[in-house]
Structure 1
Amino acid sequence: MASFECDQAEGLRRLLAGPRPRIVTFLSAALPSEKSAMLVNLGASLAESGREVALLDACLSEFGIARRMGVDLRATLLDVSRQQRALDQVLHTMPQGFHLVSLAAGSRGALSCDADQLRRLSNTFNVLAVQSDVVIADAELDDSDDLPLAAMGEGDIVIQVTPAADSIKKAYALIKRLHMRLGCRPFGVLVTGADEQEADMVYRNLAQVASRYLAVRLFSVGSIPNDEQLVRAARLGRAVVDAFPRAGAALAFRRLAERFATPDAAMGVGI
């Protein structure tokens, strides 16, 4: 079995040899089904473009991406940090072309680590990041408005929102909570289930309110239209870029993937 030390050494070699890995943390103000559809299709679109993609389930609720996909990930990054597993044992290759990995299993108490254990878990996450071209983290804020790992707050954070009034209200609440914890820094906004005109209106309204009341700057990272082909692809257990490559949603996901795959794209902290 490959050792954790070997994983660390390989990660360090990649870090020194190539550009900084992309870490994008998603928080969602959409329904769980809408969130999972977005994450799966974005991961598949990035993989289609030739990127090595790790989709990390950093949620400790029933709405995490692994549970939504029906995958039981009992071996986790937390196990790797405890040297109970090797990194390659917790990476599950999915039919959509990306790797699926879980941060920790069980309830929120699973991440109630002491300082040394949390440091080891953070180091393990960094190893995952440098061995991937892009890490997409499916995350939630805890009761203290913290992200699961500090490194997620240091990278790019994107809020998924839909045109529904409840979703817009929830998105603003997420931005406010992030601002109180992380201070004045930019956040990305991805509008799903909307055409370009409607998405632009949702983004501009959010950006205006966040700027006026929080002094927070938002960036639009794009939009995904409401497309029946997304639903049909999901029923087939496939990504829309694979099942219906000419669908409007497929084109939108390819544009989104291109943005996240570009090292020097101008948005937020790391994008």
Structure 2
Amino acid sequence: MRTLCVTSGKGGVGKTTLSVNLGIAMARAGRRVLLLDGDLGLANLNVMLGVIPRFTIQDVVRGQKTLDQIVIQTSYGISLAAGATGIAELADLGEEERENVIRGLEGLRGYDVLIIDTGAGIGDNVVRFVLAADDVLIVTTPHPTALTDAYGIIKTVLTHESRAIKLIVNSVTSIRDARSAADRLTGVTSKFLNGTLECIGYIPFDSLVEKSIMKQQPHLVLHPTSTSAQRMQEAAMRLIGGQVADSKPGLGRFLQKLLGQ
């Protein structure tokens, strides 16, 4: 199982919307997808999907439920592990409790891709998720403050370790602005940081995306023929292109790295 962490330096750039729709696009391509809400302060993947979770990851941390018991099978072909602020307790678990959680997560099988939707910014929890994941996707817009904050998290990650990071420029009003934003970030990353940044797509601004959010239904489901939906589909295919099935217990490996083991 591959783990993909979707993050951003700034809130309001469409990170959660993209996490949901990229997951649906991957599922339509035959991948078995699990979404994990890693926004510790404002868990809202379930809101985007229009579902009300009875249990969350907090129940797993407290030993009241297994991960199997909290996973929700949505009507969109993807599964959801709803988040809660209690996941932050993972960092403070005792050794025995920590091992119990890891074993439980390693037992969860049947998925090809785990998508973690983090909070925005460069907080410790966000960075921990990013460093633990196999693949990292940064979401930004062409707005100067969004680009500055995106560079902030790219710099933070690459300061910890050299790795390849992917980028999507969202809510663009022209290809020229999109390319300028991507070139700016890839240029400074290549020049000043020890790592690589690859832009895998541009998503045009589309008022239909906001309408989908208000209806609490995925954009790819409500408006599949829109240009923005097509660009999301293309980005998802670039993310999974060339990947092969991973027989290792990817979720357990992810949690071990997340917990510093």
TM class by smaller structure:
0.7 to 0.9
Q: TM-score, structure 2 length as denominator?
A: 0.78
2:142 corresponds to which residue? Answer: 163
In the superposition, relative to structure 1, how do residues 45 and 145 fare at CA in structure 2: closer, same or farther (>3 Å)? closer
Q: State the alpha-carbon separation in 2 of the partners of residues 243 and 27 from structure 1.
A: 24
Matching of residue 200 in structure 1 with residue 179 in structure 2: yes
Q: CA RMSD in A?
A: 3.0
TM superposition shift of 1:177: 1.1
Q: How does 1:1-271 map to 2 (within 5 A)?
A: 21-32=1-12, 34-62=14-42, 64-66=44-46, 73=53, 75-77=55-57, 79-80=59-60, 84-102=64-82, 105-106=85-86, 108-109=88-89, 111-128=91-108, 130-140=109-119, 141-143=122-124, 146-148=127-129, 151-152=132-133, 155-181=134-160, 183-194=161-172, 195-264=174-243
Higher mean alpha-carbon deviation, 69-78 vs 209-218, is at 69-78
CA deviation profile, 1:58-78 (whole Å, cap 9, x unmatched)? 221125534665755463446
Contact 1:61 1:107 in 2 (8 A): no
CA shift, 1:156, in A, is 0.5
TM-score normalised by L of structure 1 = 0.76
Do the aligned partners of residues 218 and 148 (structure 1) sit closer, same or farther apart at CA in structure 2, a change above 3 Å counting? Answer: closer
Q: Displacement, 1:116? A: 4.1
Contact 1:23 1:136 in 2 (8 A): yes
Cα gap change, 1:242/1:64 in structure 2, threshold over 3 Å: closer, same or farther? closer
The whole-number CA distance in structure 1 between the counterparts of 2:59 and 2:114 is: 19
The answer (yes or no) to whether the contact 2:6–2:137 under 8 Å persists in 1 is yes
Q: CA deviation at 1:80?
A: 4.3
Query: Secondary structure at 1:26's aligned position in 2?
Result: strand
Equivalent residues of 2:5, 2:130 under 8 A apart: no
The CA deviation string for residues 192-248 of structure 1, in whole angstroms up to 9 with x for no partner, is 111443222211111111122223211112221111221233333322222222100
**Aligned residues of 1:77 and 1:124 also touching (Cα < 8 A):** no
Q: 1:217 to 1:98 in 2, by over 3 A?
A: same
Identity %: 26
Tell me if structure 1 keeps the 8 A contact 2:60–2:66.
yes
Ranges in structure 2 where 5+ consecutive residues have no aligned partner:
245-249, 251-261
Q: Is the 8 A contact 1:53 1:134 kept in 2?
A: yes
Instruction: Work out the number of aligned pairs and report it.
Output: 242
**More RCO (CA 8 Å, sep 6+):** 2
Residues 88 and 106 (structure 1 numbering): CA distance in 2 closer, same or farther, change over 3 Å? closer
